[in-house]
Amino acid sequence: MRPRRLRTTAAMRRMVAEHHLHPSDLVLPAFVREGIAEPEPIASMPGVVQHTRDSLRKAAVAAAEAGVAGIMLFGVPEESKKDAVGTPGTDPEGILQRALRDVRAEVGDGLVVMSDLCLDEVTDHGHCGVLDAEGRVDNDATLRRYAEMALAQAEAGAHVLGPSGMMDGQVGHVRRALDAAGHQDVALLAYTAKYASAFYGPFREAVNSSLSGDRRAYQQDPPNGREALRELALDLAEGADMVMVKPGLPYLDVLRQVADASPVPVAAYQISGEYAMVEAAAEKGWIDRERAIDETLTAFRRAGADMVLTYWATEVAARL
């Protein structure tokens, strides 16, 4: 037997490839910051910026033109506006709501416009929820805030909301609030298996996070794979339209399990630290940047992801 016969030429390899990257599988996460006049580079994510409202519109158009499927927006409010309950998250004039309206006005339905549904970007303590008297994240009080945020984001024009806070019951709670307010068409991309990861490091800089401490009391513990299937069952029962595994590369086994079990589309999120690792090694000349990027994206497809959230979405889509 000679498996090598199928590896002899580029044309042969292309023909027998089981997976091909395609722009329509890619989603661009993007940050928009209130009160800045110029895009602000994020040092730990070379090539990624905190956008102004104006530069975000341009980035959305560039993504659409490259054929990228969607954009996932994160809002960074002015520091002075953050508070214990995350008021900028429900204010119709909060930065995320403004950015949603901007992007919809610019691209209409040409991109799937998504928004992060979480409190960490808008609270002064930086946790993904509101705190109880002991300083712990209060699950059910947080659900009430998520419902209010969901309505603000839906009213601002989001096609898809991404509840990412890992509160129990968040998908069902948000679904009921949306339906009761007439937003039946707004879809939910559930952060189903989301692990308490060191690889979120650069994201903290990207959203000027105020967090001191960690999220281990609500995000999943890295040793646990089986738990992802429990989270999947709950999210499906609560009405998730799509599910996600996050981070990406360190959790390809979890992605495979979720993809095998899920009747709805599955996304993988290639997070900030994964991006930073490749960029840093490439900058030192230690790896071939483009090959490494494509290899990581292909790995997600091979492990069962239908779509990938990646900070390289526009760049990769443009050269495919």
Catalytic residue ranges: 194, 246
Under rule CB under 6 A, residue 118 binds ligand PBG: yes
Under rule CB under 6 A, which residues in 275-304 are in contact with ligand PBG? Answer: none
| Candidate segments 58-66, 83-91, 112-120, 312-320, binder of ligand PBG by CB under 6 A | 112-120
Q: Using CB under 6 A, count the residues that bind ligand PBG.
A: 10
Give whichever of 106 and 205 is closer to ligand PBG, judged by the CB atom: 205
Under rule CB under 6 A, residue 127 binds ligand PBG: no
Q: Determine the Cα–Cα distance for residues 89 and 183; give it in Å rounded to an integer.
A: 18
Instruction: Name the minimum Å distance from CB 241 to ligand PBG.
Output: 18
Under rule CB under 6 A, residue 208 binds ligand PBG: no
| Candidate segments 10-18, 20-28, 116-124, 276-284, binder of ligand PBG by CB under 6 A | 116-124
Give whichever of 136 and 261 is closer to ligand PBG, judged by the CB atom: 136
Instruction: Name the minimum Å distance from CB 102 to ligand PBG.
Output: 20
Residue 166, classified by CB atoms within 10 Å of its CB into exposed (0-12), middle (13-18) or buried (19+), is: buried
Give whichever of 39 and 163 is closer to ligand PBG, judged by the CB atom: 163
Instruction: Name the minimum Å distance from CB 151 to ligand PBG.
Output: 18
Per-residue binder mask for ligand PBG (CB under 6 A), 187-206, x = binder? -------------x--x---
Copy the structure tokens of residue 97. 């709501």
Under rule CB under 6 A, residue 50 binds ligand PBG: no
Phi, psi of 134 (to 5 degrees): -90, 0
Give whichever of 106 and 201 is closer to ligand PBG, judged by the CB atom: 201
Under rule CB under 6 A, residue 116 binds ligand PBG: yes
Give Dmax over CA atoms of the chain in angstroms.
Answer: 68
DSSP 73-122: EEEE--GGG-BTT-GGGT-TTSHHHHHHHHHHHHHTTSSEEEEEE-STTT
Q: Determine the Cα–Cα distance for residues 241 and 225; give it in Å rounded to an integer.
A: 22
Copy the structure tokens of residue 159. 């096609």
Residue 81, classified by CB atoms within 10 Å of its CB into exposed (0-12), middle (13-18) or buried (19+), is: middle
Under rule CB under 6 A, residue 271 binds ligand PBG: yes
Per-residue binder mask for ligand PBG (CB under 6 A), 149-178, x = binder? ---------------x--------------
- For residue 221, what is the DSSP state? P
Give whichever of 125 and 215 is closer to ligand PBG, judged by the CB atom: 215
* CB-facing half-sphere around the CA of 65: CA atoms within 13 A: 8
Under rule CB under 6 A, residue 120 binds ligand PBG: yes
Instruction: Name the minimum Å distance from CB 108 to ligand PBG.
Output: 25
Residue 224: partners with Cβ closer than 8 Å, 6 or more residues away: none
- For residue 262, what is the DSSP state? -
Residue 184: partners with Cβ closer than 8 Å, 6 or more residues away: 178
**What is the contact surface with ligand PBG in residues (CB under 6 A)?**
116, 118, 120, 128, 164, 200, 203, 215, 271-272
